[in-house]
Structure 1
Amino acid sequence: MTTQSTQPDLLYSEEEEALRAALRDLLADHCDAAGVIARIESDTPHDRALWKALADGMGLAGLLVPESQGGQGATAREVAVVLEELGRAVAPVPYLTSAVVATEALLACDSEEAAGLLTSLASGRTIGALAVALNVAPGTAFKAVRHEDGALHGELTGIADAAAADVLLVPADDGALYAVDADAATITAQVSLDLTRPVATVTFDGARARRMGDAEPAVRRALRAGAGLLASEQLGLADWTLTETVRYLKERKQFNRPVGGFQALKHRLAQLWLEVVNLRAAARNAADALATGEDADVAVAVAQAYAAPVAVHAAEEALQLHAGIGMTWEHPVHLYLKRAKADSIAYGTAGAHREALAELVDLQAP
């Protein structure tokens, strides 16, 4: 007897579309481009008020957490919709790093301490960050600090959203994952291309730590989810830049006719539209695979092999086709280009994911 594998569902459900609509309305009221630009020029790049609205008002911080632990009991599909909208707004909130990556790491741990911390993250009142460099790909080596007499010693670099975190999840040399209060560590900002998701150096000098579980499976699960759902953020970013560029070219006139009517620009936009449509399929497939557990490693590798080049291309085209206004600090397109470039190395480059995909499907380069 032959068995048929379940086909992935790439369409959005009514509930997912309702979630999108509600979130887009909230972001329209709380996350305008001028406000984001002003915030990244300040000493507080993270928008705490927006985070509170997302977490308390809509309960989105606990989407991946089971209802028995204070969460919503949803899946990666719903989280993907949230990240699409946050990507469209380049929202300066630690959603990917706390509600996805840190949460997934704790879901892989089976201790009572991990369960308690998971409930805190689900409420949104506690923000978590996995202390693994943002550029580390799923399944690859990551740096650990020294654990001695219940305390941690060492330095980790490139930790995304560490400045916003209340608790850090830190892999140690004894193979365990530990939770450390952020105020017990020294967090030093690093120069970040994307100021809406800043990275930092985290130094531990005898910081007291609580064991959560085994580091390797927790980090692997967290980074896989981060990479797979990052594709949805990149989709939202690419979709906004394409839509905004088309709108602008319909309005801008040259030689007394809309610039968007020039054939050369039509061809560029048509090519970009095809890329964004394909990215949507790849991102939705990754979200569905993470939700069902069906070929998730392959789906994530495919999505990330494709997502970064498309998001960067979309942002570059937006900047160029907006011409002079696109080069100004006042126009938000620079936020999208910087986020796209930073995302292109987050949780592994496209090249790293292509190599991983080749190994997964046993199709090595000659």
Structure 2
Amino acid sequence: MKLVLGEEQRQLRQAVRSFLAAASPPPKARDGYDPAVYARLNGELGLSGLIVPEEYGGAGAGFAELAVALEETGAALLPGPFLATVFATIALTRVPDKDLLAGIAEGRLTATLARSPGGAGHLADVTAAPAPGGGVAVHGELTQVLSGMEADVLVVPALTGDGAVLVAVDLTAGDLTAGGVTRTPLETLDVTRGQAHVELDGAPGRVLGTLPAGDGVSDGVGDRMAVALAAEQLGVLRGSLEAIVAYAKIRVAFGRPIGSYQGVKHKLADMHGKLEQAESIVRYAAWAADAAPGELPAAAALAQAYVGRACFEVARDHLLLHGGVGFTWEHDAHLFYKRAKADEVLLGPPRVHRARLAGLLEL
């Protein structure tokens, strides 16, 4: 097991951190998705193709490297479909498709993976039937699709007469109600990353392959998604802590920096302890995704059970320690708070993952 970053991973972290500090710092997150930033992120750093196999034009890196990148995008509150595209890429690496993987690796395509509302990895309520002109006609309703308004391609598990398959649906054909696809933006808590209600009424789709036996998003896909999300949550946690530590050094109350008061110091120490534990858990989970698939289910469940809650608690306390200014719309504290809460329940609330972990440990 390797929990310490190597030299190349540290260089990757510094490159992504420097890029985001200049191109997409946290205050810019409130402006929403910027395609130009996303194009540069992929063109200059190649992040979208990080875990895409080399045969499809990607870097062929592992989850240890992906976790490094996602930690930095989380700390910067990067808006847009990057995490959604990572989720879709994870599924596509299990059911490979040359065109989609190559498009993602080149930064030409953004994608999203449909999940069930509970996030437990069950098949979405979508069906696919053969279409007269070839391909399949996809029917179904998806109530919450991450980055559904920004993504170019929807990757969705669907049921056919022969079983479960993974289907790709083009979301860019015509306007938002063309081609059998209707997308409606949802009002979400996290203003930096949207969701959409997607209706598929005979939408033309392409079957990518047969899903592994199981619950439709199995064979480690759901676990790897949990690891990827935990890496982003680690970044949000770290960004929140760094922001309040910097503020505690300059905010003066009663003639002293607030960081010198015992109540603030102890709270910051507790937050730092959560960061250290979360980092160890994420590093272990990323290692398991790369090198120990037998340990991955428990590592992924632990990552979501602990890191999601720890991230929200640190973001909440960082907002409170800012005092009155932290509650204003002009301050960035609420952006971290909302991203942390949205991420905490994105793949199901922590209690779901605690129950799964308990079952895996036979408790």
2:165 counterpart of 1:176: yes
* Residue type at the aligned position of 2:13: R
- Summarize deviations over 1:127-164 as a string: whole Å, max 9, x none: 11112246503xx4232312223201121111101111
Deviates more, 1:226-235 or 1:143-152: 143-152
**Aligned partner of 1:156 among 142, 145, 148:** 142
C-alpha distance in 2, partners of 1:134/1:222? 17
2:80 counterpart of 1:93: yes
1:222 is displaced (CA, Å) by: 3.0
Mapping for residues 214-363 of structure 1, pairs under 5 Å: 214-215=210-211, 219-220=217-218, 221-294=220-293, 295-363=295-363
What secondary structure, in the 3-state scheme, does the structure 2 residue paired with 1:55 have?
Answer: helix
Distance 1:351 1:330, change over 3 A: same
What's the counterpart of residue 209 of structure 1?
A: 205
What's the counterpart of residue 58 of structure 2?
A: 71
1:244 is displaced (CA, Å) by: 1.3
What's the counterpart of residue 35 of structure 1?
A: 28
What's the counterpart of residue 196 of structure 1?
A: 192
1:219 is displaced (CA, Å) by: 2.1
What's the counterpart of residue 136 of structure 1?
A: 119
What's the counterpart of residue 42 of structure 1?
A: none
C-alpha distance in 2, partners of 1:224/1:53? 29
C-alpha distance in 2, partners of 1:102/1:286? 19
* Residue type at the aligned position of 1:34: P
Unmatched segments (≥5 aa) in structure 1: 1-7, 40-44
1:120 is displaced (CA, Å) by: 1.1
**Aligned partner of 2:128 among 147, 162, 165:** 147
Q: Could you tell me whether the CA contact under 8 Å between 1:19 and 1:81 is conserved in 2?
A: yes
What secondary structure, in the 3-state scheme, does the structure 1 residue paired with 2:149 have?
Answer: helix
1:331 is displaced (CA, Å) by: 1.1
* Residue type at the aligned position of 2:48: A
* Residue type at the aligned position of 1:46: Y
C-alpha distance in 1, partners of 2:117/2:41? 23
C-alpha distance in 2, partners of 1:167/1:10? 35
- Summarize deviations over 1:12-50 as a string: whole Å, max 9, x none: 11111111111111111111233222x1xxxxx322111
Provide the alpha-carbon RMSD of the alignment. 1.5
C-alpha distance in 1, partners of 2:303/2:257? 35
What secondary structure, in the 3-state scheme, does the structure 2 residue paired with 1:330 have?
Answer: coil
- Summarize deviations over 1:172-195 as a string: whole Å, max 9, x none: 122111111013321111121112
C-alpha distance in 2, partners of 1:247/1:236? 16
1:196 is displaced (CA, Å) by: 1.5
C-alpha distance in 1, partners of 2:24/2:117? 24
What secondary structure, in the 3-state scheme, does the structure 2 residue paired with 1:192 have?
Answer: coil
C-alpha distance in 2, partners of 1:15/1:93? 27
Unmatched segments (≥5 aa) in structure 2: 131-135, 173-178
2:106 counterpart of 1:108: no
**Aligned partner of 1:57 among 44, 59, 71:** 44
Q: Could you tell me whether the CA contact under 8 Å between 2:128 and 2:158 is conserved in 1?
A: yes
1:330 is displaced (CA, Å) by: 1.4
